[in-house]
Amino acid sequence: MQAAKLSCHLNGELRPLFDLYTRTWCHLCEDMYEQLKDLQMTYRFEVRLIDVDLAPDLETLYGELVPVLKHGDFELCHYYLDKPLVTEYLTKLR
């Protein structure tokens, strides 16, 4: 399983890195990713897409829950973006 990474450098700036567990042909995954891209216009963070179907252990953990948004070991939401919770979480990270 991939180790959790909490931040990344982009253009010399340290930004929170969120993992979005997805799978191909998942409209809920696409919807959540688009909503996260909208949030990136206000908050500086990055999203790493992880396809659960490429790793059996991830498929076992998240297969029925995708999309799943995590920051490190903290799961923020699954199925649908909980925008108020994610916004509050991002505000606290500033």
Q: How confident is the model at residue 3 (pLDDT cuts 50, 70, 90)?
A: very low
In this prediction, residues 10-34 reach a mean pLDDT of 90
Q: How confident is the model at residue 79 (pLDDT cuts 50, 70, 90)?
A: very high
In this prediction, residues 76-88 reach a mean pLDDT of 97
CA–CA distance, 94 with 90 (Å, rounded to integer): 7
CATH number at residue 13: 3.40.30.10
- DSSP for 5-20, please give it: --EEEETTEEEEEEEE
Number of domains in the chain: 1
Q: What is the pLDDT of residue 12?
A: 65
In this prediction, residues 39-49 reach a mean pLDDT of 95
In this prediction, residues 38-64 reach a mean pLDDT of 96
Q: Are 68 and 36 in contact (CB under 8 A)?
A: no
Say yes or no to pLDDT of 51 above 90. yes
Reduced to 3 states (helix: H, G, I; strand: E, B; else coil), residue 81 is coil
46 domain residue, yes or no? yes
Say yes or no to pLDDT of 2 above 90. no
Domain with 73 in it? 8-93
Say yes or no to pLDDT of 1 above 70. no
86 domain residue, yes or no? yes
53 domain residue, yes or no? yes
1 domain residue, yes or no? no
Place of tokens 């969120």: 18
